[in-house]
Structure 1
């Protein structure tokens, strides 16, 4: 670890740069954004702001560990106390270490601090794609306990970041964006659900005026943590040092949750910061490439899935499920997932959770006869679990009531007729690990659908009464890590009442997210479009549901449902045994289309057209080498205008020529017009990239809840 100051450290990658001045007592960020063709020392020499009237007599500093000592009146990086004392941190730089690869792309900067009886560390790691991971820690070297109330990673942003976008939502309507001016004061989003929740802020973006999918500068933050979260954007009248404002995030800690005994350390979950000069699609591209580069990222073709839930619900019967598998095989399904209802006492949602033994009343010969049927058709086998939950009507709850997370003097209300198992307890953890391990081994399970269907309320451990959310989250991570270590080929899908736990922390340990319990394609298209800002398509489960949606009761055409569910990790949720021969033939064609395009969909760059009319959407995936693209043009509802005018296909090379084919295997979309635009009527057609990507082309006026697929291939 090097000591000393007066150095400027620059990390660069992917057109982005992060520059820090090593100064005493605490270093400061000089720049975070576009890479600069300028001497780094020029940033240092221009980093001092004015001394304002009625202000501290020295220039205010916004350091890498913002505190009141430096004149910072906003949210501090660290809050806590020694039994009411030591409430204003005063960190002092103890040393730093910088590691930059030989090729100069990316790198790592570690800064260490002393602060009386505390030791702090902040680590900045810029990956090859321009994503900056920031990790903070605090250790207690004093002889008395230290109560930590919060530790936040905060980075400054310039004054041109004038708008904020983050997300809210609810069950079956996750990741709904909300936009607001970046005004003075603190924009704070904190979750208190024991998980990120269906209303998770998800990704906080500060950007230039009117930033969109393909344009504008953005400074974004994402907390890679599956527990409770805190996101903030803050602007003070005096600014933040030489900058205007800040964005940041960290774990939201409950009172008394982290009390560091002498010698103990708290490691905050990492926060990912992303700058983009190309709108939200640029943010998504950096994050997708980061995930795809991880060692455990799925590299084999993502199998077409059939999940049994909306086909049979709790009605498990070998003959019925065998017929379903046979129909699935006939349309090209490659993985069967047996959902809720297979375990002891589980005939409805109010009993059985926790009793992870095959129900002999329903499956007198166990699951093996069904598994053999699945294997005989060359398919993978998956199984649904909800390990973190328990019904009071279960053998587990009756034998171990103290394993339930909640106050010792009485449980609060159930949610979805269930409670939370305190998996941080060693005995409860050992039970779950043994049952999951045994079932995966016994049946050669390829895939676990891991559900988590309720919020954590009064999440305290018995008998101590101490807050348990952080311990619960870390125990979940250990459980997932141990299962994967014991079964290296096992894939795990994260589901939390649908999309209630989608973050980079859980994605470090899973291979698929269930974006929402809603299979209504009108809702699903919006949910997935925004899920893709963080998660690449190959990790997003997207299923064909029944004509009449289970969650909204809306009825939609088969062609529309198939088009929406094609462009992620595709699957089926409906009862194929009730489908007509004509519908089965179309589903089989969709299955073939998925296999044709998944090499593109699961490796390419996701793009979205910026359109003035939010009743329509055009989104697609473009191959990294620009050789091919697949776009979906869809309409949610009617519009005042009769037609959209010229629409750009983003991501295509203006210097190339392309052959455009309208793929009609799913059936012709219903139009609200007499005839298609001339170029569509003459498709397949060859057009220049300049026309497609820069000038734009008129598109058909579709009726509501209709979609078209455009297959675009470069010819020269």
Structure 2
């Protein structure tokens, strides 16, 4: 059993793969955090006096509770309004207007396996023996509020998941003002905080800053997890780096508004919190009603960021992504968006697909513009019927033609949106998110459909399903191209209007569950103006995400490097596009564009019929190479070697789980007149194995490759790259 309860001391000990997480019930019934780190055997708590103050330590060891203070107790799910003046994990308002609550331990339950979260995506197990779970019931005796904290410890991963359920078992209504998913108080002040920040076309850039006294936080208020901030933070202790030191990672399994909060307080405790953003959020709990917070994934690493990342990668590949495509290699695709935009017809599409098939492409994706009267982005979202002016023989005929060429067919949708100039909006103007008597702000000339309403969700499921039922479709790109404004719903009463954004997410997840369950053979890829909703919750329904609308190879170095901090390469859509690049107007070599894109789910975003014969041959060879390394890239272990955030050079590599196969890539942004001998030291190899450098007769020991490295060839010019392939000699 990975979780035990020791009555002497009232201690819970949760053991994951190489990690221990320890909680104690104090004399007064509060739930106290004791330890999270490398696995330990002992349950002796005397050592914590070094961290948590003399008075609280004495209270723990001797039962002396008069001097006990919540203000320097490391809490598991703290309130506000008693003695703890730090940020609370939750807050509820009673009918008398007060916001004071006091949760005390009532009971607990330990069991094998992991339960599903009602209406929410979460990490799962396929067999009960993969994990053990702990439910701790806390109760506020005055209000009747019951909180169930759920912890799961995984046998094969250094992972603890957490969630919270709030239940009103009193006689009065409660209003939730704050309901975060996880709170951890760490007994240390010496932390660097790492976040993944940016904007449209420059998502998930790595940002590090020291944790200082007070509060530092990231959040989204945009209705989606956002381009600006990803729902992830890591705390790096002391001089921890890519390969060394203690790192604590926190990732929220949620696609909407979130808050990740770090507070360093007067006693050098660092409080870390993550959950739904309390900004503009309330939730009314009537008698007997409950509220389920999303799940938070907590990963501890004693070997730096790299080990933390590989833990997230394996967990998400194996126990977040679902369905028949989870363990399948993803196809090489071509998407016509940057090749044609809205300006295409049936003949153009057929030519692109046919030419792409000859180059080795396996899937053609028809992007925006195939429906309604969609000749630009001002019209037709919501009118999901084929534009016969562009496709006179229908979508079904086009898909069958492409299938007959030996290539699969995919299709773009944006089902969460509606254009004011559409039949759907004219028929149902109240179906969009809006506030009565307020102007509806347009973004990309569109509005957001109100998925907090069941009738709207049902309509979306039917509209999308009708197309998927009638056309042989193998892939769907599901897009979302704007944030939420004027957040309100025509069907919710006044006291529930601030529930709209979260009810939208619950409705959205129900739509995704219905459609992906009904069409299990279709590969779904999520997109939100590129990488605006790249979060683990989306991976639960759609096992890959378009990483960014910026397809420039140089910009993608930072985007894909940052994304790799949490998310595996198999989930990361990465395509080669034409030059000059449409986002930054940069001209980069086709070889470099290919080497960057081959580090994710590979494809092309251009019109291959406009390429020269030489370029087509390069594409053909790129696809051959990718198919050779596809299993390695999509299912291997990922190692970051050189950071684009720290210099002119970037490098990363993939290693097979059995250490037998290796692909390493090096990228140089700007050329220099300074000549020097440069080597690249590899990681993750077996020091006792010998490796053949593919394309040569050179053999290197794994220890040699990691300690002395490979010589980087001279690369002339800007934006150059090089890839090495190595195989174990058996």
TM above 0.5 = yes
Cα offset, 1:656, TM superposition: 2.4
Q: Is the 8 A contact 2:196 2:562 kept in 1?
A: no
1:131-150 deviation per Cα after TM superposition (whole angstroms, max 9, x unaligned): 11100111112222211111
Aligned-partner SS, 1:203: strand
Cα separation, 2, equivalents of 1:617 and 1:378: 37
Cα offset, 1:689, TM superposition: 1.8
- Counterpart among 149, 153, 167 of residue 139 in structure 1: 167
Cα gap change, 1:168/1:641 in structure 2, threshold over 3 Å: closer, same or farther? Answer: farther
* 1:600 matches 2:632: yes
Task: Give the corresponding residue for 2:701.
Answer: 688
1:289-346 deviation per Cα after TM superposition (whole angstroms, max 9, x unaligned): 1122225362222111111111111123111111111111101111111100010110
* 1:36 matches 2:40: yes
1:15-53 deviation per Cα after TM superposition (whole angstroms, max 9, x unaligned): 11112224441222211111124445556787752239x
Cα offset, 1:705, TM superposition: 0.8
Aligned-partner SS, 2:102: coil
Task: Give the corresponding residue for 1:314.
Answer: 342
Task: Give the corresponding residue for 1:126.
Answer: 153
Cα separation, 1, equivalents of 2:453 and 2:112: 41
Q: After the TM superposition, which parts of structure 1 deviate over 6 Å for at least 4 consecutive aligned residues?
A: 1-5, 44-47, 101-105
Cα offset, 1:591, TM superposition: 0.7
- Counterpart among 632, 637, 645 of residue 670 in structure 2: 637
Cα offset, 1:67, TM superposition: 2.9
- Counterpart among 68, 71, 95 of residue 58 in structure 1: 68
* 1:625 matches 2:658: yes
Cα separation, 2, equivalents of 1:399 and 1:3: 63
Cα separation, 1, equivalents of 2:290 and 2:137: 14
Aligned-partner SS, 1:291: helix
Task: Give the corresponding residue for 2:116.
Answer: none
Cα separation, 2, equivalents of 1:105 and 1:418: 45
Cα separation, 1, equivalents of 2:96 and 2:531: 40
- Counterpart among 586, 607, 630 of residue 618 in structure 2: 586
- Counterpart among 598, 618, 622 of residue 566 in structure 1: 598
- Counterpart among 14, 24, 27 of residue 11 in structure 1: 14
- Counterpart among 551, 565, 574 of residue 533 in structure 1: 565
Cα offset, 1:459, TM superposition: 1.4
1:148-186 deviation per Cα after TM superposition (whole angstroms, max 9, x unaligned): 111221112242642111121111000011111111111
Q: Is the 8 A contact 1:213 1:607 kept in 2?
A: no
Cα offset, 1:366, TM superposition: 1.3
Q: Structure 1: which 5+ runs fail to align?
A: 663-682
* 1:223 matches 2:226: no
Task: Give the corresponding residue for 1:329.
Answer: 357
Cα separation, 1, equivalents of 2:77 and 2:674: 52
Cα separation, 1, equivalents of 2:163 and 2:446: 35
Query: Number of residue pairs matched?
Result: 690
Cα gap change, 1:280/1:44 in structure 2, threshold over 3 Å: closer, same or farther? Answer: closer
Q: Structure 2: which 5+ runs fail to align?
A: 57-64, 114-126
Q: Is the 8 A contact 1:232 1:249 kept in 2?
A: yes
Task: Give the corresponding residue for 1:412.
Answer: 440
Q: Is the 8 A contact 2:135 2:149 kept in 1?
A: yes
Cα separation, 1, equivalents of 2:171 and 2:109: 28
Cα offset, 1:411, TM superposition: 2.7
Cα gap change, 1:47/1:26 in structure 2, threshold over 3 Å: closer, same or farther? Answer: farther
Aligned-partner SS, 2:334: strand
Cα separation, 2, equivalents of 1:17 and 1:701: 48
Task: Give the corresponding residue for 1:193.
Answer: 222
Q: Is the 8 A contact 1:335 1:380 kept in 2?
A: yes
Q: Is the 8 A contact 1:11 1:106 kept in 2?
A: no
Cα gap change, 1:513/1:104 in structure 2, threshold over 3 Å: closer, same or farther? Answer: closer
- Counterpart among 110, 131, 136 of residue 111 in structure 1: 136
Task: Give the corresponding residue for 2:60.
Answer: none
Aligned-partner SS, 2:352: helix
- Counterpart among 506, 518, 521 of residue 553 in structure 2: 521
- 1:379-394 equivalences under 5 Å are 379-394=407-422
- 1:537-548 equivalences under 5 Å are 537-548=569-580
Task: Give the corresponding residue for 1:72.
Answer: 84
Cα separation, 2, equivalents of 1:250 and 1:619: 32
Q: Is the 8 A contact 1:157 1:219 kept in 2?
A: no
Q: Is the 8 A contact 2:574 2:597 kept in 1?
A: yes
Aligned-partner SS, 1:342: coil
Cα separation, 1, equivalents of 2:139 and 2:672: 61
Cα gap change, 1:93/1:256 in structure 2, threshold over 3 Å: closer, same or farther? Answer: same
Task: Give the corresponding residue for 1:704.
Answer: 718
Q: Is the 8 A contact 1:186 1:233 kept in 2?
A: yes
Q: Is the 8 A contact 2:220 2:277 kept in 1?
A: yes
1:169-204 deviation per Cα after TM superposition (whole angstroms, max 9, x unaligned): 111000011111111111121211000110124321
Q: Is the 8 A contact 1:497 1:517 kept in 2?
A: yes
1:485-506 deviation per Cα after TM superposition (whole angstroms, max 9, x unaligned): 2112122111000000011111
TM-score (norm 1): 0.92
Aligned-partner SS, 2:267: strand
Aligned-partner SS, 1:129: coil
* 1:614 matches 2:647: yes
Cα separation, 1, equivalents of 2:316 and 2:428: 39
Cα offset, 1:256, TM superposition: 5.3
- 1:74-473 equivalences under 5 Å are 74-83=86-95, 85-99=97-111, 106-115=131-140, 116=142, 117-127=144-154, 128-152=156-180, 153-159=182-188, 161-239=190-268, 244-255=269-280, 257-294=282-319, 295-296=322-323, 298-462=326-490, 464=492, 466-467=497-498, 468-473=500-505
Cα separation, 2, equivalents of 1:486 and 1:261: 34
Cα separation, 2, equivalents of 1:66 and 1:346: 52
TM-score (norm 2): 0.90
Aligned-partner SS, 2:713: coil
Aligned-partner SS, 1:20: strand
Cα offset, 1:509, TM superposition: 0.8
Q: Is the 8 A contact 1:30 1:47 kept in 2?
A: no
Cα gap change, 1:439/1:642 in structure 2, threshold over 3 Å: closer, same or farther? Answer: same
Cα gap change, 1:169/1:475 in structure 2, threshold over 3 Å: closer, same or farther? Answer: same
